[in-house]
Amino acid sequence: MKTKKETTITSSFYAYLSRLRWIKRWGLKRNAHDENVMEHSWEVSVIAHTLALIKNRYYGGNVDANAIAAAALYHDITEVITGDLPTPIKYHSEEISAAYKQIERQAEKELLNLLPAELQADFQALIHHDQMPEEHVRIIKAADKISAYLKCQAELKAGNAEFEMAAEQLAKTIAESDQPEVIFFMQAFVPSCGLTLDGLMKTY
């Protein structure tokens, strides 16, 4: 008969992760609907997973969609320490960008060190962005932009003109993407995101 294995290991890693729900995004703008980092991370993960599958099935890709989805779940994990620095500030100057990148790297190390030593190698490629395959990073960044675009469209639909310029910039960036899976996703999946529930029911 197997006995229950007990452990004396303690870690606050997931306690930190659970606080991502309190980190608000788009802090410089008036929001009709608040968005937190936890829900954003889920959306980026499912979009990235779909982008990877589209790439594999339609465009001859050979990427690990499941690994990409997992990495996307953790793509903003450092914000539980740093908070969400709005994009206009993050890229306001080379000095600010470099300083923030350094802060992110330090936060990655601190979060990784919260894990039991035996698990740290497994989380290394999930938390340290510079250790991910380049193709994974590109897909996750594209998914991040699509998620931001959808957020802007939801705000505009709610009558919030605060997001007009961000929506235009994101639409332009996405349209100029050299990733065919991104264009496919935008054409196949995004139009119905603006429908009401009644409208969605009619699409069956």
Which residue type does 31 have? N
- Residue carrying the six token digits 């998914």: 143
Q: Which of 28-37, 96-105, 158-167, 184-193 has the lowest mean pLDDT?
A: 96-105
Confidence of residue 191 (pLDDT cuts 50, 70, 90): very high
Mind giving me the DSSP string for 116-162? Answer: -HHHHHHHHHHH-GGGS-HHHHHHHHHHHHHHHHHHHHHHHHTT-GG
Residue 101: predicted pLDDT: 85
- Confidence class of residue 98 from pLDDT cuts 50, 70 and 90? confident
Report the distance separating Cα 30 and Cα 172, nearest Å: 23
How far apart CA 98 and CA 113 sit, in angstroms, is 23
pLDDT at 100 over 90: no
What pLDDT score was predicted for residue 1? 52
What is the rounded CA–CA span in Å between residue 135 and residue 52? 9
Cβ of 177: how many Cβ atoms within 10 Å?
16
The pair phi, psi for residue 195, each rounded to 5°, is: -80, 155
Residue 148: closest CA among 64, 57, 39, 11: 39
Average pLDDT over residues 16-31: 94
33 DSSP assignment: S
Do 23 and 39 contact (CB within 8 A), yes or no?
no
pTM attached to this predicted model: 0.91
